[in-house]
Structure 1
Amino acid sequence: MKKLWIMLIAIMVCSFAILGWVGLEIFREIPPIPKRVVTTEGKVLIDEGGISDGQNVWQAMGGMQVGSVWGHGSYVAPDWTADYLHRESLFMLDQWSGGRYGKDGSGLAGEEKAALLQRLQTLVRTNTYDPATETLTIDPLRAAAFEENLKHYTDVFTNGSDEYAIQRGAQSDPDRLRKLNNFFFWTAWASAANRPNNTISYTSNFPSEPLVANYPTSSSIIWTGVSVIVLIFSIGAMVWFYAGWHKGAEERDTPDSDPLIGEKLTPSQTATVKYFLIVSLLFLLQIVMGIITAHYGVEGGGFYGIPLQDWLPYVVSRTWHTQLGIFWIATAWLGAGLFIAPYICGYEPKFQKLGVDVLFLALLIVVLGSMAGQWMSVMHMLPGDLWFWFGHQGWEYVDLGRVWQAALFIGLLLWLFLIARSAVPALKGEGSKSLIVLYLFTTAGIAFFYAPGLFWGMRSHMTVVEYWRWWVVHLWVEGFFEVFATVVIAFLFARLRVIRADHAAYAALLSGAIYLSGGIIGTLHHLYFAGTPTVALAFGAVFSALEIVPLVFVGYEALENIRHSKARPWLEQYKWIVYFFVAVAFWNLVGAGVFGFMINPPIALYYMQGLNTTAVHAHGALYGVYGTLGLALTLFCLRAMDPERIWNTKLLSFAFWSLNIGMLLEILLSLLPIGLLQTYQSVSTGYWSARSPEFMQTDLMQFLRWMRMVGDTIFAVGAVAWVWFAIRLMLTRKKPLP
């Protein structure tokens, strides 16, 4: 066991050292934000602060929830970087073609077209930024394209666009619209202008745009090959390890009856039931928001004729849909952690129930306050900079205002304190301490690794924000949530005396070390094209491939869970809880593993980033793995609150199969086909086309969107069944014995 601890600590120290060093390289080589943009004739196009102001305008109106920038964001509206760059390129080609040949650019062919394309590429790819004066100098024709694009975006955001699911009046202030256009211009400039003394752009030539010779870089292709080789080798090594040396969590002499029967619940354990009630309600609300958001893809101006955009725009429904997913899953895990805590030390620490109640109230305020603030920000109800503090920050998954972020972080620290005051005294007792230490380690990881969400400011550079944002989304959710899940499942089986605690600790510690060996540095695979240098792409490609390796073996974990559930007849009462654990393993392989690696290699993500293939991975991993585990933990706690109760599992079995079949059909019938068709379009025509309304609003795409109703309906019915089952348990459970 000691060697495993040394291995885990070494992995973490080395991994964070590399991640930190790459971060320094990223900050050193970020795309410059010019103080001024002027034409060669001396006309000032953008003055000091104009680009950062534009980024703030974009953030306050929803940011990544209204289309995407550099591929990160939502899927209905265009990627504004690709859209701006393509429109700018077409405008300049048309102007040159009209002046020289008397026709627009679409009528060109052969040598005429080749000559103008070469001229365009030379103009756009030549980096004319002067770091000494912090001034970017551009051709007057490019300034004219800027004004032309401003007219287009003024129309889109002022009058609204059903094709983009953008509501009327999303932004109508002329000054703010110009600043917004400043920001779009800058992202497009950085995506095509070559880095100093280099032949690739600041975003490694993303997005793909043949007009300006934005093609995959050599590094994207080479490191894709390296990542596949590393993956194959690592899987082989894991097979060798499992076959020769791996020992699972060894079974013990399982008791003849449920060891939880007869145990008195502590006041704090009883108080956690309200957490699980909120989990159920937020789960349903997230599904409602998901239904509305998905429908906006086919009817961008309303909901079956109801003008819903007027008071619940797409940007708000999608923000709430993604954020509620984080909230209800996190609440389930927090509640489960608090419920398990007294089991660790064997008694109720003083004032523990008060702490549980205070934390619940704080979480409720954060959830409701942040949702209200986001709606007010999008509806232009927050003056000045209040959008940043209380409204919508515009960064996907961390959209909530800074005050709510800080409050959530304080709440997580309170949760850690409540867990620690139960777990630390247990370290003085007899028996295996490793599982308790590991439990403390993972809860501390969940608490502290939300902190990077506070590391950027209102006017921080987008590349800097992206670096820290993925610390939260990847390391917090995909990293420490993953390890916490492994530890909790091991702890629960040990608590039921199905497996020995020391062997459970060994298995959990080994799994955690394997997960984190690729997961920490693998954070960089989200940053390939976010204005980062090639070193981020190289490390991200290789180590994110390692993340897939343990997922290949989750079937082994699933079989162990099933075997544990059959050790004694009384464990039949835990059958469907174990099945939810098995579903976690399935979605870990399919949602996180297969669909994750589908978009993970640099050359794949170059064409797939921000397409519906991303949504495939997001749904399969976030709900499939973490959501399913949240439901399983909720069920276990409800089981432990009333262990003598015989469950009528018909409704629960229906919910289980409906949820999993529904999610699978949603992916296979709609999201995946749309994503693959978009990928083909991105490869053959350009990224802008794969996100354009001309492609996304075709009859085939509309049909595939409607096909989502099949899986969505089955999933929603299953969710209602699960919630009804859970709430009925909460409302009719036995009162604790005096």
Structure 2
Amino acid sequence: MIQIEYRTQRLSRPFFVLMLVLFLFQVGFGLLIAAQHVDPRLLSGVLNFNILRAEHTNLGILWILSGFIGTILFVGPLLSRRELAAPWLIRILFYALIAVTLWNVATQALAAEGVAGWWLGQPWLQEGLEYLEAGRAADVVILIGFAVLCYVVLRTFPAIRDWNEIHWGLGLGVTALTLVWVFGMFFVERLDVQEYFRWYVVHYWVEGVWEVIHISLVGFLLVLMFKADVKAVGYAVFWGVAMVWLSGLIGNAHHYFWVGTPEFWQFWGSLFSALEPLPLVFCFWHIYLDAHQDRKPLENAPAFYFILGSVVLEQVGAGILGFTMTFALTNVWSHGTWVTPSHAHLALFGTFGMLGIAAAYYALPILRKAAGFDQRLGKLAFWLVFTGMLGIAFGFAIGGTVQVFQYRTLGLDWFGGDVFPAMQFYKALIPLFGLVFTVGAGLLVFDLLTLGLRAHRAPALQPARPATAMRWAGTLHGFEAGLWLMGMWIFGAVITLGLLSFNLPTVQAGDPTLPYLLAGLGYPGLLLITLLFVWRFLRSLDARQHSPARAAVPEAATQAAHVAA
């Protein structure tokens, strides 16, 4: 029977459960706003689009944070070879996270009425800034919560002289998580200056702090799952973190382009934003090396499926699609259009959301002593949410391309109904693929919440057919993986050229042929090659299942002993 080695690892379970509940609510809000895109009259005057969108965005941040905290609390003792420090603070942190979540939901009603709660020059109840809407009172609670997490992690870790690269990555990550939030703790009357500091929080969190935590957690989960060499993984974590901060700190300037800041930021923001995919390529490549190093059967398939999905969608959504729209000459067209949520959905859910789900699939079977859980439901859920999210991104991207031409180039009236009919087909694609995603989300939440409660009878593993009989399931060599990666970037280049073509005189004169053609080739090509590559990668791992059945989750003691070695 599987036993956890450190009892304080159990403190991670409430955070994983909260993550799953908030995830379901966020998906529900997403479906509603997708339906409102098709019919703007839906729930008009009851739950308006702007309120639902804010709830959808905020819940996305909160459930991802909950997953991060749960993952850190679960792996912290294994990484440090000791119990978590100050467990009573962790319990307080959990209830504080619930309180902040409820306040974020309630504060939207205040925003609708224009109630900010001004006192001492600060908006204490709500402040109306996208992603930072909750008001100064909630900001203070959040800051204290981050400080508690930082304190627990640093107190749990051994002396600094004994840190490896993963200790450094997580230590720097949770420290920066706290410090960066300070930039969202004060009100500036001038909108351009306020936006300048708002992006300090939003960008540095996502493309600085969260990326550092993500790279470190992915690395350590690979150590646990594949018995990967901790020194080799630590080397990858070091360079990943270094490149994230090298490119991301100045790359933040791509948010400065159109908020009244000096023009020189257009050059520096474009240059360093173009470098931001480098650490993502590195992370993408290292997961290939770690997964193929020992050629053992895949023991916990759902956990690895979501880790792979996290890294691949990080590469595609944050890296490639982020690259296509962060030059000043492309961003001037894509900024504020549907092209942006195509990138944002793949990047935010793919990179950070899938990591939390992967960690839950790894940790909850151990915490609930469900070693023999049937993994088929988790696999099916992965393919549904993965395919659904790619479809949502496709609808946003192609609809956004039409929007750029109709709205930004021709200058047609958005509110007068000129643009709406041109985008209607793509508006319908969002709830369609959203339903696919929702079914997958429901399955994975049901699967994870009922682990240990249902009778689990894992199916017997069938011998795999020889690789020569099924080439698609054969060994995935590094050269082939490199070709898949190169193909993704080729389609990314086509998308970039499509956005750049909006600057051409012929397009400005009213001919959309070139941008439509390039978008119609680039976006479907990129998303299809992404789907096929993940399928190919996982088929190559599933082919190892001809080995005798192994325990679905490794013994925690074995994991910890390997890490210590």
TM-score, structure 1 normalization: 0.59
Cα pair distance change 1:511/1:383, threshold 3 Å: closer
Aligned twin of 2:441:
719
Aligned twin of 1:323:
58
Partner deviation per Cα, 1:615-640 (whole Å, 9 max, x = no partner): 11111111111111121122222144
CA contact under 8 A between 2:125 and 2:137: conserved in structure 1? no
Cα pair distance change 1:526/1:262, threshold 3 Å: same
Residue 496 of structure 1, CA deviation = 5.2
Q: Work out the CA distance in 2 between the residues paired with 1:574 and 1:449.
A: 35
Cα pair distance change 1:346/1:657, threshold 3 Å: same
- Name which of 335, 338, 341 aligns with 2:70: 335
Cα pair distance change 1:384/1:484, threshold 3 Å: closer
Residue 261 of structure 1, CA deviation = 4.4
Aligned twin of 2:533:
none
Residue 594 of structure 1, CA deviation = 2.1
- Aligned: 1:641 with 2:367: yes
What amino acid maps onto 1:435 in structure 2? I
Aligned twin of 1:78:
none
- Aligned: 1:393 with 2:127: yes
What amino acid maps onto 1:339 in structure 2? F
Aligned twin of 1:298:
38
Aligned twin of 1:629:
355
- Name which of 233, 246, 252 aligns with 1:517: 246
CA contact under 8 A between 1:561 and 1:581: conserved in structure 2? no
Residue 428 of structure 1, CA deviation = 6.2
Aligned twin of 1:402:
136
- Name which of 289, 314, 335 aligns with 1:588: 314
Q: Work out the CA distance in 1 between the residues paired with 2:143 and 2:220.
A: 26
- Name which of 272, 277, 296 aligns with 1:568: 296
What amino acid maps onto 1:673 in structure 2? I
Aligned twin of 1:280:
20
- Look up the SS of the partner of 2:157 in the other structure: helix
Residue 495 of structure 1, CA deviation = 4.1
- Look up the SS of the partner of 2:228 in the other structure: coil
CA contact under 8 A between 2:228 and 2:290: conserved in structure 1? no
- Name which of 368, 380, 383 aligns with 1:654: 380
Residue 461 of structure 1, CA deviation = 1.1
Q: Work out the CA distance in 2 between the residues paired with 1:537 and 1:436.
A: 36
Aligned twin of 1:157:
none
- Name which of 393, 404, 409 aligns with 1:679: 404
What amino acid maps onto 1:638 in structure 2? L
Q: C-alpha root-mean-square deviation of aligned residues, in Å?
A: 2.6
* Identical aligned residues as a percent: 27
Unaligned runs of 5+ in 2: 457-554, 557-565
Q: Work out the CA distance in 2 between the residues paired with 1:638 and 1:346.
A: 20
Cα pair distance change 1:464/1:646, threshold 3 Å: same
- Name which of 171, 174, 184 aligns with 1:453: 184
Residue 381 of structure 1, CA deviation = 5.9
What amino acid maps onto 2:165 in structure 1? S
Q: Work out the CA distance in 1 between the residues paired with 2:387 and 2:344.
A: 17
Residue 385 of structure 1, CA deviation = 6.2
Partner deviation per Cα, 1:673-707 (whole Å, 9 max, x = no partner): 11001122345324xx3744433322x32222112
1:102-181 equivalence runs, <5 A: none
CA contact under 8 A between 1:655 and 1:718: conserved in structure 2? yes
- Aligned: 1:289 with 2:11: no
Q: Work out the CA distance in 1 between the residues paired with 2:39 and 2:74.
A: 44
1:187-336 equivalence runs, <5 A: 261-266=2-7, 268-302=8-42, 308-336=43-71
Partner deviation per Cα, 1:41-100 (whole Å, 9 max, x = no partner): xxxxxxxxxxxxxxxxxxxxxxxxxxxxxxxxxxxxxxxxxxxxxxxxxxxxxxxxxxxx
What amino acid maps onto 1:376 in structure 2? L
- Look up the SS of the partner of 1:378 in the other structure: helix
Cα pair distance change 1:579/1:724, threshold 3 Å: same
- Aligned: 1:378 with 2:378: no
Aligned twin of 1:206:
none
Aligned twin of 1:442:
173
Which structure exhibits the higher relative contact order, with contacts defined as CA atoms closer than 8 Å and separated by 6 or more residues?
1
- Name which of 404, 412, 423 aligns with 2:146: 412
What amino acid maps onto 1:575 in structure 2? A
What amino acid maps onto 1:712 in structure 2? G
Residue 509 of structure 1, CA deviation = 0.1
What amino acid maps onto 1:680 in structure 2? F
Cα pair distance change 1:716/1:693, threshold 3 Å: farther
What amino acid maps onto 2:195 in structure 1? E
Q: Work out the CA distance in 1 between the residues paired with 2:285 and 2:374.
A: 29
CA contact under 8 A between 1:661 and 1:715: conserved in structure 2? yes
Q: Work out the CA distance in 2 between the residues paired with 1:416 and 1:661.
A: 36
Residue 603 of structure 1, CA deviation = 1.0
- Look up the SS of the partner of 1:729 in the other structure: coil
Aligned twin of 1:433:
164
Aligned twin of 1:470:
199
Cα pair distance change 1:684/1:483, threshold 3 Å: same
- Look up the SS of the partner of 1:393 in the other structure: coil
TM-score, structure 2 normalization: 0.76
- Aligned: 1:548 with 2:277: yes
Residue 348 of structure 1, CA deviation = 2.1
- Name which of 263, 268, 287 aligns with 1:539: 268
Partner deviation per Cα, 1:506-559 (whole Å, 9 max, x = no partner): 110011112221111000001101101112212111110111233345542342
- Look up the SS of the partner of 1:531 in the other structure: coil
Q: Work out the CA distance in 1 between the residues paired with 2:277 and 2:426.
A: 29
Partner deviation per Cα, 1:337-377 (whole Å, 9 max, x = no partner): 11222223323256x32121110011111110222122233
CA contact under 8 A between 2:365 and 2:452: conserved in structure 1? no
Cα pair distance change 1:292/1:610, threshold 3 Å: same
Q: Work out the CA distance in 2 between the residues paired with 1:273 and 1:730.
A: 13
Aligned twin of 1:39:
none
Q: Work out the CA distance in 1 between the residues paired with 2:430 and 2:55.
A: 20
CA contact under 8 A between 2:241 and 2:279: conserved in structure 1? no
Partner deviation per Cα, 1:577-610 (whole Å, 9 max, x = no partner): 1121111121122111222122111011112210
Q: Work out the CA distance in 1 between the residues paired with 2:205 and 2:423.
A: 35
- Look up the SS of the partner of 1:647 in the other structure: coil
CA contact under 8 A between 1:498 and 1:567: conserved in structure 2? no
Q: Work out the CA distance in 2 between the residues paired with 1:715 and 1:488.
A: 25
- Look up the SS of the partner of 1:463 in the other structure: helix
1:459-498 equivalence runs, <5 A: 459-495=188-224, 498=227
What amino acid maps onto 2:63 in structure 1? W
